[in-house]
């Protein structure tokens, strides 16, 4: 499998702050890759290094087979970028900005531009200074999504969108995936990443702490189970992978490591099950565990 982005050992410091600390990141061609982390974890810094806007102190970064610092212009022909903070020129209309960015990238798909304006309900005649934050983001999104490029780099592109527009955005990204494009989606919204991404990398303090498919990551998480049994839950506490067990008579609540689910369920069935609720592991939980560990 080829890599659209491959980064290893990347370090970037700003004075005393170490924004990227031995960062390794691998994005496969054709996948939607979630880049997850809270504010200040280094997501935007990593993206700016990949765009050749910042120069890394050490480490290597390859983007579409080229060096992002040296082959900047050639690489930028093949990608589109939506910044986290979209600022527009006060006296240019949204439509003018979309066309400008499209032309600079070497042309945009007019039919797709019209369709996206429709879907995002964006008025392209308004001047930059009159758009809200969400609408400024839509301008950048329409410009990026209507370009014919191989790679989309999106830095928290939905932080100003309302839930309706968030749904439109998710549809659009699924369209991009089916067109075979690679997407690097930075976000701190877990639901969005869970809904869209094939693989996820979690960044903390400028370092990737976890990377893999959602299925891979779920192995690292726990399922919450609460059940009413036919008899007392004998022996349950001794099973491997069971945590935080609370038993009140025949009722039990506990968490179980995802890879230990099978023997635990067999034990429950042996006792006899009246009711059972299980909650699947969420990325949120994984995320919180990683950040709590850091404390």
Partner 1 sequence: MIGTGHLVRLALRRDRILLPVWVLFLVGVTYSTTTALEELYATAESRALLGVTANANSAFLAMLGPLHDWSSLGGLVVWRWGVFSGLFVAIMAMLVVTRHTRAEEEAGRTELIAATVVGRHAPLAAAVIVAGGTSLLIGLLQALALIGKDLAPAGAFAFGLSTASVGLVFTAVSACTAQLSENSRVSNAIAGGFLGVTYLLRAAGDAAGESGPQWLTWFSPIGWTEHVRSFGDNRFWVLLLPLAAFVLLTGVSAYIVTRRDVGLGLLAARLGPPHGTIGSPFGLAWRLQKGSLIGWSVALFAVGVIYGSVAQAVGQMVQDNPALGQIVSKIGGADAMVDAFFATVTQLLGLISSIYLVQAVLRLRSEETSFRAEPILATPVSRWGWVASHAVFALVGGAVVLAAAGLGLGLVYGTQTRDLGAVLPQMLGAALAQLPAAWVIAGVALVLFGLFPQLTGVSWAVVSVALVLTLLGPALQLDQWMIDLSPFTHVPKYPDITFGPLAWLTVVAVLLLAAGFAGFRRRDLST
Q: Is 138 in the site for partner 1 (CB under 8 A)?
A: no
- If 0-12 CB within 10 Å is exposed, 13-18 middle and 19+ buried, where does residue 111 land? exposed
Q: Is 103 in the site for partner 1 (CB under 8 A)?
A: yes
The one among 73, 111, 246, 294 contacting partner 1 by CB under 8 A: 73
Least Å from the CB of residue 39 to partner 1 = 14
Residue 20 near residue 12, CB atoms below 8 Å: yes
The one among 11, 53, 209, 268 contacting partner 1 by CB under 8 A: 53
> Which residues make Cβ contacts (< 8 Å) with residue 169, sequence separation at least 6?
141, 157, 158, 161
> Which residues make Cβ contacts (< 8 Å) with residue 212, sequence separation at least 6?
199, 200
143-172 residues in contact with partner 1 (CB under 8 A) are 153
Q: Is 127 in the site for partner 1 (CB under 8 A)?
A: yes
> Which residues make Cβ contacts (< 8 Å) with residue 74, sequence separation at least 6?
66
Q: Is 40 in the site for partner 1 (CB under 8 A)?
A: no
Q: Which is nearer to partner 1, 76 or 204 (CB)?
A: 76
Q: Is 135 in the site for partner 1 (CB under 8 A)?
A: no
The one among 27, 35, 37, 44 contacting partner 1 by CB under 8 A: 44
The one among 20, 23, 25, 88 contacting partner 1 by CB under 8 A: 88
Strand partners, 277: 226
The one among 9, 124, 160, 205 contacting partner 1 by CB under 8 A: 124
Find the helix packing angle between 163-178 and 110-120, rounded to 10°: 150
Least Å from the CB of residue 62 to partner 1 = 17
The one among 105, 181, 199, 218 contacting partner 1 by CB under 8 A: 105
Least Å from the CB of residue 2 to partner 1 = 22
The one among 20, 31, 45, 145 contacting partner 1 by CB under 8 A: 45
Least Å from the CB of residue 167 to partner 1 = 25
- If 0-12 CB within 10 Å is exposed, 13-18 middle and 19+ buried, where does residue 241 land? middle
Q: Is 276 in the site for partner 1 (CB under 8 A)?
A: no
How many residues bind partner 1 (CB under 8 A)? The answer is 44
**Chain centre to alpha carbon of residue 201:** 8
Q: Is 102 helix (H, G, I), strand (E, B) or coil?
A: helix
Q: Is 289 in the site for partner 1 (CB under 8 A)?
A: no
Least Å from the CB of residue 81 to partner 1 = 4
Q: Is 11 in the site for partner 1 (CB under 8 A)?
A: no
* Nearest in space to 142 (alpha carbons), one of 163, 165, 113: 113
* Nearest in space to 37 (alpha carbons), one of 203, 284, 193, 209: 203
Q: Is 98 in the site for partner 1 (CB under 8 A)?
A: yes
Residues counted in the chain: 295
Q: Which is nearer to partner 1, 80 or 242 (CB)?
A: 80
Q: Which residues bind partner 1 (CB under 8 A)?
A: 44-45, 48, 51-55, 72-74, 76-77, 79, 81, 83, 85-93, 95-101, 103-106, 124-127, 129-130, 140, 153
């Amino acid at each position: 499998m080829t890599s659209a982005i491959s980064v290893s050992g990347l370090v970037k410091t700003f004075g005393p702050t170490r924004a990227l600390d031995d960062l390794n990141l691998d994005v496969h061609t054709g996948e939607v890759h979630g880049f997850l982390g809270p504010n200040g974890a280094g997501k935007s810094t990593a993206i700016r290094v990949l765009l050749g806007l910042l120069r890394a102190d050490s480490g290597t970064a390859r983007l579409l087979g080229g060096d992002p610092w040296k082959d900047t212009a050639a690489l930028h022909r093949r990608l589109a970028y939506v910044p986290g903070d979209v600022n527009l020129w006060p006296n240019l209309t949204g439509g003018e900005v979309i066309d400008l960015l499209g032309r600079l990238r070497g042309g945009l798909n007019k039919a797709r531009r019209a369709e996206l304006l429709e879907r995002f309900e964006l008025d392209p005649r308004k001047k930059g200074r009159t758009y809200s934050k969400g609408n400024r983001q839509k301008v950048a999104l329409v410009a990026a999504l209507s370009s014919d490029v191989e790679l989309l780099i999106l830095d928290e592109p939905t932080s100003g969108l309302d839930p309706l527009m968030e749904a439109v955005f998710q549809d659009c990204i699924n369209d991009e995936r089916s067109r075979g494009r690679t997407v690097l989606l930075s976000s701190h919204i877990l639901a969005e990443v869970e809904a869209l991404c094939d693989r996820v990398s979690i960044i903390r303090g400028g370092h990737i702490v976890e990377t893999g498919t959602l299925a891979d990551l779920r192995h690292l998480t726990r399922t919450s189970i609460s059940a009413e049994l036919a008899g007392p839950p004998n022996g349950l506490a001794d099973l491997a992978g069971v945590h935080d067990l609370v038993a009140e008579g025949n009722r039990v609540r506990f968490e179980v490591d995802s890879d230990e689910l099978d023997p635990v369920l067999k034990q429950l069935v042996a006792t006899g099950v009246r009711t059972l609720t299980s909650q699947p592991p969420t990325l949120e939980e994984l995320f919180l565990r990683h950040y709590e560990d850091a404390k």
